[in-house]
Amino acid sequence: VLYSCCHVSERLCHLLGQEPLALESLLNLAQGKVKVVDREESTEVTLYLLSLLVLRLQDLPCGMEKLGSEIATVFTHSHVVSLVSAAACLLGQLGQQGVTFDLQPGEWIAAATHALSAPAE
């Protein structure tokens, strides 16, 4: 619901970007630090929401610069195609904002190949 609301309200994105507790909660979800029923789905939606926030704000909300290596790990090691795609989306947004991650070209290619060639979930 929050993801959909952020799509239609840039003001909501700005409010979330300025609210430390909301950002901390989203970062904890993305890092798997919160117990949820469907971890993969929650992580995927959170990654897309964080991507949308960066895109709409054209800036990194506080603390997101630390996520680069963790998101890169999800991108290169997850066997869940939707998570790989969500991580790729966020990595693209983080990269646009100057965040660096230590990924070799072969790792990018392997993850992208997996995401593009795996059967639909």
Q: How many Cα neighbours within 13 Å face the side chain of 98?
A: 3
pTM, full prediction: 0.88
The set of residues, in sequence order, having a beta carbon less than 8 Å from that of 39 and lying 6+ positions away, is 32
Rounded average pLDDT over 55-69: 87
Q: Quick: pLDDT tens for 93-105.
A: 999 999 988 888 8
Domain ranges (residues) in the chain: 2-117
The per-residue pLDDT for 9 is 95
HSE-up of 105 (CA within 13 Å, CB side)?
A: 0
* Average pLDDT score over residue span 38-55: 93
